[in-house]
Chain A
Amino acid sequence: NAGVTQTPKFRVLKTGQSMTLLCAQDMNHEYMYWYRQDPGMGLRLIHYSVGEGTTAKGEVPDGYNVSRLKKQNFLLGLESAAPSQTSVYFCASSYERDLAQFFGPGTRLTVL
């Protein structure tokens, strides 16, 4: 089993460009999450999904959109990247909301 995978691992964007981060999990988990991690701060939830076809806002959703068209995939989109979105992005999944989460390896995004 691959667990949780993320693509790409690194990306550099210019302000105003768009991109999509892909998260895939092969554990048949219902719950999937997108977090960002910034220096000196804990993980902050951007958006999450409680099942195929559902999405919900987290703590810091502005500037991001998500989609969960298939149970195993959770996409995070940046429509018009800003320097404030420079961060490391982690995807995670879990069988139920309160159970342990399994994390992907992270995507390091730099917006110039």
Chain B
Amino acid sequence: KNEVEQSPQNLTAQEGEFITINCSYSVGISALHWLQQHPGGGIVSLFMLSSGKKKHGRLIATINIQEKHSSLHITASHPRDSAVYICAVSRGDGQNFVFGPGTRLSVLP
């Protein structure tokens, strides 16, 4: 069993839809990270969170430490949101990041 899992693996949505991507992990963490990989390949960090919720524009990330689960929500989705979204955890014990396999999102106009 992978330490970080994501669902769904692939997601197709219509423009304007509310989107949720899930991440679950099985190890103790100090923080959870959401990253976005553009179709051209570039990777950017979206959020780093260790509790509660963070919001940036139309993106919202939540985490439930007790349930070892995080969600990334996109409101009013747009074709430019099409990308691979990657969940990663930092374990805070001298270990390096563990990355999930990614969720490929396609938003159709």
**Residues of A participating in the B interface, judged by any CB pair closer than 8 Å:** 33, 40-45, 48, 58, 88, 90, 92, 97-103, 105-106, 108
Residues 18-41 of chain B, each 1 if its beta carbon lies under 8 Å from chain A, else 0: 000000000000110101000001
Kindly list chain B residues whose C-beta atoms are within 8 Å of the C-beta of A88: 41
The answer, yes or no, to whether B76 is at the interface (CB within 8 Å) is: no
The answer, yes or no, to whether B74 is at the interface (CB within 8 Å) is: no
Name the contact of A43 in the complex, choosing from B42, B86, B94 (C-beta under 8 A).
B86
Kindly list chain A residues whose C-beta atoms are within 8 Å of the C-beta of B96: 33, 45, 48, 58, 97
Q: Once the chains bind, are A42 and B41 in contact (CB under 8 Å)?
A: no
**Residues of B participating in the A interface, judged by any CB pair closer than 8 Å:** 4, 30-31, 33, 35, 41-45, 48, 86, 88, 90-92, 94, 96-97, 99-102
Kindly list chain A residues whose C-beta atoms are within 8 Å of the C-beta of B91: 98
A-B CB contacts (within 8 Å), total count: 48
Q: A33 to B88: give the CA distance in the assembly, Å.
A: 15
Q: Once the chains bind, are B97 and A105 in contact (CB under 8 Å)?
A: no
Q: Once the chains bind, are B42 and A106 in contact (CB under 8 Å)?
A: yes
Q: Once the chains bind, are A100 and B33 in contact (CB under 8 Å)?
A: yes
Q: Once the chains bind, are A45 and B101 in contact (CB under 8 Å)?
A: no
Q: A40 to B104: give the CA distance in the assembly, Å.
A: 10
Kindly list chain B residues whose C-beta atoms are within 8 Å of the C-beta of A48: 96
CB A44 to nearest CB in B, in angstroms, measures 8
Q: A103 to B35: give the CA distance in the assembly, Å.
A: 10
Kindly list chain B residues whose C-beta atoms are within 8 Å of the C-beta of A58: 96
Q: A108 to B86: give the CA distance in the assembly, Å.
A: 19
Q: Once the chains bind, are A42 and B100 in contact (CB under 8 Å)?
A: yes
CB B80 to nearest CB in A, in angstroms, measures 19
CB B29 to nearest CB in A, in angstroms, measures 9
Question: Given A42-B99, A43-B99 in contact, is the A98-B92 Cβ separation under 8 Å?
Answer: yes
Q: A48 to B95: give the CA distance in the assembly, Å.
A: 11
Question: Given A97-B96, A100-B33 in contact, is the A42-B44 Cβ separation under 8 Å?
Answer: no
